[in-house]
Amino acid sequence: MNLRLVLLFRGVVGLLFVAYLLMVPLSGQAQSVYERNGYYAAFDGIIGMALWFAVSKDPPARWLSTLVLAEAVMRLVIGVFGLANPGIQSRVLGSVAYYGVIIVFCIVLGAIGMIYVFMKGRQPSPTGARSGALSAFIVSLATMLFGVAVIFGLPDEESRRLIVAGLTVVLGLTYLITGLRTKR
């Protein structure tokens, strides 16, 4: 797998999902909104696994492979669980548990990612320079802020849609720019 192509593909898919999310009006059924997010999260998790494979094969970026794997698994699990349990958000207890897990995962993964970048991103590598520290920091910060935003922005479907669109546009642009700047 070519690291540059995977980054570009993930960025383009993310930005296309944002365009779709903003152009398609909210329907009367909240079910379809969760379904779209579930399909995207599962597909993004699969692309994340491809990114993990590419990062683990690239010596300057190998230090990020654990973080990329954790993020990919989180997205894949959230997507598959959301698709397997489509009505979970309509039940109060199910909704609280589902969003609670997402919030905790996002905040914890984002915080660990930022700490990891600060600790490992500055250490010299036996293979030379490390790459991806700024991109990893931006993705980690955006993931953590998404978890915090979900806490405060759940009153209606429109706010949830805008929060998901905000996270996805930041991640899409970060992956796209990183892919354009990557020479391999």
> Could you tell me which residues are beta bridge partners of residue 125?
128
Could you tell me the pTM of the whole model? 0.84
Distance CA 95, CA 105 (A): 15
Q: Quick check: 155 pLDDT over 80?
A: no
Instruction: Kindly report, residue by residue over 2-21, the tens digit of the pLDDT.
Output: 989 999 999 999 999 999 88
Question: For residue range 46-56, what is the model confidence (pLDDT) as tens digits?
Answer: 999 999 999 99
Of the pLDDT bands very low, low, confident and very high (cuts 50, 70, 90), residue 95 is confident
- Is residue 91's pLDDT more than 80? no
Domain boundaries in the chain? Answer: 3-181
Query: CA 88, 92, 98: angle at the middle one, nearest 5?
Result: 50
